[in-house]
Each structure stands twice: as C-alpha cells, then as structure tokens.
A and B are shown apart, each in its own frame.
Chain A
C-alpha cells in the first residue's frame, strides 16, 4: 500500500470548513435509531436481578418459581455462562462482572436474569428468584481499602510491581512507578516546597442514553446483536469469547450513541442478553434503567493523591513527586498507573517520581471516563503548582510557562516529546482577554493545564464510488463525536469533490475488517488516516480507468481537484475527466471502483490544553456559579472546527459537574444512595456559562493533515482550574472534589475560625 502518514503541510479546500452534520436531522426529529430503538418480531424483555449487598457469598440461587411463572421464557444465572476464558484473567473478570459467580462484589452486581413476554412479567419473575446470601464485611473507600484491617475483596490478589511478592493478599492489585532523576536531591535544591493531599470522589460519565441491546441467537449457532457501544468489533470479540462462539458468526451492529465517554467500552448486559436469547430461542431486548446504569456500569475511580513539588526562588521546579491511589472497583485495573503517567506530563522536570496503587473496593468495576485517570491527577498537581506559584510570588501562568515541557523534553512517563502544544496554549492564555477581565467581590479566577496521550490503533475503511459518482464511506469506528462528518470532509479533500457527494456510515462487524473501539481520542485521528489511504487507493484506480478511457499510460494521468488530468505534451488535447464521468463508465472499464485501507494508526500526537475559569462563591452558603470559562487546546488540525469546539465545550461541561457536584454517595451499608439524576447532580443547561474556545493547530508530524485527537484532553484541566478559582474566591484551598456547597461552606467556616 505504501501509505505515507507523514504531515505534508498541504492547503485545504474541505478540511477546516463547517458543513452541517449529516446525522443532525435524524437526531433532532427522533428518526435516529439508538440502542433501545431496535425491535424484532417475537422479542422478549430481559431484566437483571442485582445484588442488594456490597459484598456477599452467593450460597444458592433458586430460580424454580420464576421459571414456573407464565410468560417467563428463560432464567439464567452464572451457570448459563460457563467459564470459557481459559486462564485469561481479564476476560474472567469481565465474565464475573456480567454475572456474579460465587460472590456479589458490589451493590448492583448481576446475579440472575430473566427473559419474559413483557416487562411486568419479567419484573414479577425477578421477585420470585430466591438468592441465599452470606453477607460479608465490605469496604467502599479507597484509603480504607488499603488499610491492613480492611475486608479482603479477593484473597488471590497479591500486589504486583513490588520487589518481592508480598506474604499477604491485599486489596492493592498493583504498584507502578514512573519518573527519572533524583527527587530527594531535587527537593534539597528547592527554596519552596508545597506538599498536600487531595481526594476526588467517584463520578459517572452520565451519558444520557442507558445501555441497550437486542440479541438474537439462532439455533444454527449464529447470532445478531444490535447495541449501543463505542466499539462493536470489541463487543463482538468479547461476547463471542464469553459465549463460546466464533467471532464471524456473531454480527454486531452499532446504533447511534447517546453518549459514551468511555463508559460504553465494556460489555455488561450484552453477554447476558445473548445467553438469555440462546436459552429462550427468541430475540431478547435488554435495556438498563438509570438506576442500573449508576449501580452496575463503569464509573471512574475515586482517588486519594499526595503531591509534593519543590521550586527555586527563580521559579524553576527542582523536583516533583506524587503518590496516587485509585479505586478500581472489585477487579484489577490500571487506573492509578495512567494517573501516575499523566500527573506531571505538562512539565519539564529533571527530578520526578510518581507511584500508583490500584485499589479494590466494593463498588462497580471502574471503566474509562474521558481521558481516564488524568483529571484527578491534574487536579492534585495543578492545585499544588498554583499554590507553589503563590508561595514564590510568581504569576501562575508565568510559573507554568517557565516549567512547561517542550519539543525534546523527556516526559515524566518516559518518551521524549515531538512538537507539542503546552507552551503555545499557555502563551495564548497569557494573552487572552479573559485573563485581564476584572473580577467582582466573591469572585475568583483559576487556570490549569492538562495532558492526554491520545491513541491510534487498528483501523479499516472502505470507500465505494457509485456509478453516479457519489461516494459512500464505510468506517468501523463508532461516531461518538461527529466523525462521520469529519471523515467525509477528509475523503472530499482527497478526492477533490464536494462534501455533499459523500455519505459516511458505520459498518457492522460483518461488513468491514476489525476496528479498535472509539476511545483514546482515536476515532477521527485513525479513521481519517485510513480514509486518506482508502481515497488514495481509489484515486489510483480512477487514474487507471481514465488512462483506459483515453488509452494512454496511467503514468501520464494525475488526479487534480476531482478530475483525472492527462499530462505531457502529447496528451495536451485531452479534456480532463471528472470522477463522475469515470464512475459512469466503470461498468465497462473494469467494474466497481473502490478504495480500501487497513492500517495501524501509529503516532497519535499527544495533546495539551490550558483552561481559564471564573467563579463566584456565595460565602454564606458555599454555592458556586461558574461565570466565565475559556478552553485553549491544541487540535493539531481541526478537521471540522465546530465539532472540535463541541468537544472542548463538552469536556469542560463534564469537568464542571465533576468539580462542583457529581459524586457517588455510599451509605454505611455499602449501597449507593444516589443512583439517579435527581441526586447525582450533573450540570443542567442553566448551570453553565457559554464556554469559550480557542483552537490552536500545532501539526502532528505523524498524520498527513497534522490531526491530533481532541475528545479527551478537554476534561483534564477543569477540576484543577475550578478548584484554583474556587480557592481564590473563597480564600481557602479546596482539596476535596467535588467542591459541593457543604464542603465549601465547611472550609470557609474552618478558615474563619482559624
């Protein structure tokens, strides 16, 4: 294929424009089909029975009464999902999470499921299932779970990553460490040191669409699954493996997606729906309620983080150190590890050390949430950086500029950076009108930086040219943030045609090669690379067909602005041929014209952002209003700037909710107290100011157009930016997220009382 992914610095005709979104009309008129909008004749209603206990041995499950109820077509327990994971520990955890095998590990853990003719019968059937639990002591707090006396969640876990295997099992599954230099020596050279501890509570992605799927298993062993997911190819693999199917026999079709943010990267309900359908012999639709989404999908980690940073009087950081403890739910994860990698990634440091601990708790299994693990680490680090700047007496933006990582800097997590955007975002913030706007009484301003790796990965695209010259693009990365529009722009750019001549669809798993899921901000980065490659392959065929039509050598045909052009003096009299003209003749010049591409998109450029936030805090109630918010972020190249701005705003909006009010609240009984949007408070529209955005474009050298992922970085700085703003407004350093009114008021009162 000889595809050259290097940045070429070309001029753009389509890329960078703002056409209306192709999925817009269907979404605003209700025609778009989301997970729960698929239906099949004879379909049953699936419902899941969940543990009310945070930690309990399942002694016995008696399903006989439920099975006897008229209208019930199948009842399943873990016995109907036998362990086929063959020693794959991660897959076993997924299996156990889908349906508890011997122990219920959190409030909401699935223990059985039914398929019945209607919802009422299914609900009745759940009440008839008798589960004999032996309730065990539980632990839901990340620090308490690390204590020696803590109830042990899994007695086969011995902390990995220590020099010696520990003698005792514990709730700490892994220790990881990053950094370079000698922090001890670095702190010795510091004139000022700030050392603080921080906590963040567990939050949920809060996607509006609950998990939903329809499973249809045929007696011949093939199956179909319609599902709301960020990665239908990954769902196919996982479901096939858990159910003992060949992957190609399971066709998975992804629906439109009402938000995922990392939360729809794991299977929960889907293997259960397939197992129910297999047993019942009929299609089964399984839709989670909001209560189930909160209790039993995958929220982010709760954390406890210690940070220590030292600097000289001149504002040079001499050493930085952090210990990060992240809750993983009841199964092993790598969340603290990611936090430990990202914590100091914005800075150029000679001496840096981060240590992460993965901690098991009796809460639902942690899943990715938009730049997973980075926002909490950034909150702790950027709060300490702000405080340190204050102590030294340097402007916080200036302090960060002085210590910002640059091209050639060895990052705190290892790799050496190429061209990066942290410095430019800081300069842009320094010069932004927002930084100079006056503040009123009880108002405060804060700013903070954030980093995210971004990801590339396996990608496959088909580009088909119809005989009428219109182009269909089949991609395998689920469109969570406007990628169908962006990819159409990219194909239009390459082919030299108008955007409206294209239609992009997300193909099902039987129609296209494997694609990694839409995560790691990879959708537009990787699929645009594959689209460029596919378009170039199609252009090669278009040139061949034109050469054939002209009866000249293909070497004399070039592709320019949507046309085949014959080159050289001897062909000077040949008029150019449009894509449409070539397509119209394709039936007689060799058949359909298509371009295909499969590749591993390497070199996703790292991404940086700096945010500015103004808040007003009511000192009598602790109530906080965000009154102004600005996002400055490097996009590499904004393919569809409106979508990029939307990503910037969306990350900031979610960060505002996380910073101020969102949190999982557990009772002493280990049960989730606020499994609904009434008491799990995501921001409503009137809570948010217009979020201002500024796109910087520092090209990614590893993408033909310079594209970097943009979806995740925007949620990394908000916790810290808002915490810095609130701390400035309230006159007291806030160290616990969310900064809910009771926490702010208590901090103000404590400060007042000295």
Chain B
C-alpha cells in the first residue's frame, strides 16, 4: 500500500488516473479507514487530499458558497453565513456519525461513498447543490444527484475527483430542512430520511420546492412530483397529506436489518411532511 499527499488537485488527478491497482481518496477517512480496518477494501494507493490548497476552505462566491472537498462537517456548522443560508444542509452534515466523526468527515466523502442512507445527500439534493469534478480531461460541474448511481457506485470516471460542492445563495423567503429517522438519538444511520427546500412569495405561497428522500431506494430520490404538490399552495393540511402520500409512493425500499419496506414507506411521508413544515417556518411562512 502506498500513501501520498499531493499539494495540487492536478497532481492528485494525475496520480489517481495513473494508478494501476485499486486507489482511494482520503479526506476525513471516516468511511475509508473503517472499511479498510474491516477488511472490505484493500487499496494499493491512498491519496490524501487534505494538503491540497483551497480544499479545506468554505469560500463565498458570487453565486453562493463553494465548500472544499476536505472541509470537515463540523466546520460547516461554524460558518454563520452558510448556516443562515442553508440550515438544512448544515443540520444534515452535523448528524453524520458522532461529534468526533463530524470533526473528520466531509460532505464530498459522504456523497462519494454513495450510500443511499447518507445524511447530507438528500439535503444537498433538495438544496440543488452541484459538484465540481476535476479529471484528466478538465473540470465539469454536475448536479449532486447524478453522482451516486447505485449503492457504493458513482458516475465519476477513472481519475476524477470532486473538488468542491457548490451551493447557491438562497432567494428571499427560502429555507431548507432535513430530517432522518433513527431508532436512537445519535450515532446511527438513517433508516429513512427527507430533505426539503422551499421558496415562498410574500403571501406565503410556495413558488419553488425541491424534495429528496434518502434510504428508500438504491440512490437518494429527488421527488419532483412531491415538489409540484407544494408549488402554488400554502402549506395547508391537504398539501402536506399529498406530499406525504407522494413521498411514500415514490419509495422503492427494501426489508433489511435497519427497517422494513412498510416502515420506510410510511415514515418517508411523515418525515417529508415534518421537514416541509420546518422549512416553511424557516422561510417565514405562517
């Protein structure tokens, strides 16, 4: 096994593209190191990206925020502007693992681990986040929901690294929220989860919405029909009921050690409704 710590993204991409055997990117290591210790993966090359200039920063951009791939989730919670603009994304990132894990883990790692139960991903999808991908043939920007393709698999090509996550600046009267279900209070993995992002007009009518459901299908689901059920309406009981029903219906869950099909379906709707209510209140809706 070889461990390297490149100082530029170009070098990292070059090393990754040129690797002959299995290679892995190391940021916080909260997935990679656990999987290595468990004997599930045995990478020949480990590329630590924490030395790369700029990757450990959250930058304010003209359009919003750029969150570097090596920024630990705990740091997201310490950025007042980000917290104000995207409380749902930040609360999702701050639910991963434990306090200690949050000091290491990153949202890019969470995205690239490609678990359908990843906490930050439904929130990022609902927020319309984009990923900056750097590869041997240059840079491209893609919607985060296109990154995971199946449990443990991503759309990234050989040699590609996600350099940053881009979040827009929130429109006025907008807010997001994220909720997950776990049987305990912390240090657990989502049985099912929901992220909702809403924009309201001055009368409190929803003008834009994005709804995402986690841990209910092989990848996080962006439920466009659920968003449509909210747009043009205040968050009345009928709209919420319809939202819940659509979200439950959109699920394609499995029975496993963490929950049953029936449970995930039912609770997906409950969480979407509750997350929508939180987002609505945060956006100033009454």
Contact = CB atoms under 8 A, between A and B. Distances in A.
Nearest to A667: B257
Contact of B257 (A673, A745, A746): A673
Interface in A646-673: 660-661, 665, 673
A742 B263 contact: yes
A623 B187 CA distance: 16
Interface residues of A, number: 25
Nearest to B271: A621
A746 B259 CA distance: 12
A678 B186 CA distance: 11
Contact of B189 (A621, A678, A741, A749): A678
A621 B39 CA distance: 35
Given A621-B181, A623-B181, A741-B181, A746 B262 contact: yes
Interface in A706-739: none
Contact of A660 (B183, B260, B267): B183
B60 to A, nearest CB: 34
A684 interface: yes
A231 B187 CA distance: 33
Nearest to A624: B183
A310 B184 CA distance: 38
Contacts, number: 56
A123 interface: yes
B185 A686 contact: yes
B270 interface: yes
Contacts of A683: 184
A628 interface: no
A123 B40 CA distance: 13
A679 B258 contact: yes
B270 A686 contact: no
Interface residues of B, number: 21
A661 B183 contact: yes
Interface string A676-698: 00110101101100000000000
B282 interface: no
Contacts of A315: none
A624 B259 CA distance: 15
B260 A742 contact: yes
A678 B258 CA distance: 10
B270 A620 contact: yes
B187 A740 contact: no
Contacts of A673: 256-257
Contacts of B270: 620-621
A740 B183 contact: yes
A660 B187 CA distance: 16
Interface string B35-72: 00011000000000000000000000000000000000
B184 A745 contact: no
B259 A687 contact: no
B245 interface: no
B188 interface: yes
A525 to B, nearest CB: 35
10 contacts: A620-B270, A621-B181, A621-B270, A623-B183, A678-B189, A679-B258, A681-B184, A683-B184, A740-B183, A741-B181
Given A741-B263, A745-B266, A746-B262, 15 more contacts: A621-B270, A623-B181, A660-B183, A673-B256, A673-B257, A678-B189, A681-B183, A684-B186, A684-B187, A686-B186, A740-B183, A741-B191, A741-B259, A741-B267, A745-B263
Q: Which 3 A-B pairs have the closest CB atoms?
A: A742-B263, A686-B185, A673-B257
Interface of B: 38-39, 181, 183-189, 191, 256-260, 262-263, 266-267, 270
